[in-house]
């Protein structure tokens, strides 16, 4: 609540300028005039009303800001989807890394997103819902896809080198020809996954669910780390290969 001080009238001119030197008179005259102006304005009710209105305008601005926060978020999401959809079929990032991360941070499902061939290196999509997404031939090296739902996703020929796929749902995912060198698949569910021709060198498979893998023929499993018991033998029986790379 505003508290206004009722001013007392200024001193008379003779009293105000008593004992003042002549060269200070112009400054005293200005000060005395301003004091009288402040005195009369302090008694003007309109100014008090305007002060209250200024406070109310700030209050209303704050209320409207929070009331419209939902609309602003919807607009932000719309713009992010526009970036993703406009860049479909194009190489490069095209702003898709930031758009995907922004949507995921707001817990927006990315079901069926199409970013085939996109440059998404280092994208941070922990826990994202990427069910049935199309990420064919996307460059997703060094990405964080921990606990992502990638069921039925198309990751053919995708570059997932050194990516974090811990505890990811990879049921029925298409990973033919994908590059998973040094990726972390610990705890991932690979039931129904197609790993034909995939490069699985040095992949971490600790605790991965592998027994219902759909296909793994011609996949390179050289140097697989923390392989579950029986996995290597089974994979080789299914026509997987173990071939070291040039620098191994």
Half-sphere exposure (CA, 13 Å, Cβ side) for 201? Answer: 14
Q: What pLDDT is attached to residue 138?
A: 96
69-86 and 96-105 helices, crossing angle to 10°: 140
Helical H runs in 68-209?
69-86, 96-105
Are 150 and 132 within 8 A, CB to CB? no
Here the tokens at position 105 are 């941070």
Q: What pLDDT is attached to residue 195?
A: 98
Half-sphere exposure (CA, 13 Å, Cβ side) for 243? Answer: 11
Q: How far apart are CA 194 and CA 170, in angstroms?
A: 10
Are 121 and 103 within 8 A, CB to CB? no
Q: What pLDDT is attached to residue 91?
A: 77
Q: What pLDDT is attached to residue 28?
A: 66
Global pTM value: 0.71
Q: What pLDDT is attached to residue 74?
A: 85
The neighbouring-strand residues paired with 129 are 149
* pLDDT, one tens digit for every residue, the chain (248 residues): 444 566 677 777 666 666 666 666 776 677 767 776 776 666 666 656 667 677 767 776 777 666 656 567 888 898 999 999 998 877 778 899 999 999 999 999 999 999 999 999 999 999 999 999 999 999 999 999 999 999 999 999 999 999 999 999 999 999 999 999 999 999 999 999 999 999 999 999 999 999 999 999 999 999 999 999 999 999 999 999 999 977 76
Q: How far apart are CA 122 and CA 73, in angstroms?
A: 25
Q: What pLDDT is attached to residue 52?
A: 67
- Domains, the chain: 69-248 (2.160.20)
Q: How far apart are CA 183 and CA 215, in angstroms?
A: 19
Half-sphere exposure (CA, 13 Å, Cβ side) for 118? Answer: 28
161 burial level (CB within 10 Å; 0-12, 13-18, 19+):
buried
State how far Cα 244 lies from the chain centre: 38
Are 137 and 155 within 8 A, CB to CB? no
């Amino acid at each position: 609540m505003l508290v206004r001080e009722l001013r007392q009238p200024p001193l008379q001119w003779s009293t105000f300028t008593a004992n003042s030197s002549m060269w200070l008179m112009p400054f005293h005259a200005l000060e005395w005039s301003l004091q009288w102006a402040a005195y009369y304005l302090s008694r003007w009710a309109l100014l008090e009303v305007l002060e209250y209105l200024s406070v109310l305008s700030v209050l209303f601005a704050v209320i409207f800001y929070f009331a419209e926060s939902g609309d602003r978020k919807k607009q932000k999401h719309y713009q992010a989807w526009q970036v993703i959809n406009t860049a479909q079929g194009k190489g490069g990032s095209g702003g898709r890394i930031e758009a995907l991360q922004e949507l995921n941070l707001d817990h927006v499902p990315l079901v069926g997103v199409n970013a085939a061939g996109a440059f998404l290196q280092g994208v941070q999509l922990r826990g994202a819902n990427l069910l049935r997404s199309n990420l064919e031939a996307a460059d997703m090296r060094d990405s964080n896809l921990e606990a992502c739902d990638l069921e039925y996703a198309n990751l053919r020929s995708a570059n997932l080198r050194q990516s974090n796929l811990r505890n990811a749902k990879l049921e029925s995912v298409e990973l033919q020809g994908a590059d998973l060198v040094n990726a972390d698949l610990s705890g991932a569910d690979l039931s129904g996954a197609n790993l034909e021709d995939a490069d699985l060198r040095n992949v971490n498979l600790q605790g991965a669910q592998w027994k219902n893998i759909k296909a793994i023929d011609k996949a390179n499993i050289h140097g697989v780390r923390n392989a579950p018991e029986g996995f290597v033998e089974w994979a080789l029986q299914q026509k997987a290969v173990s071939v070291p790379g040039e620098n191994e």
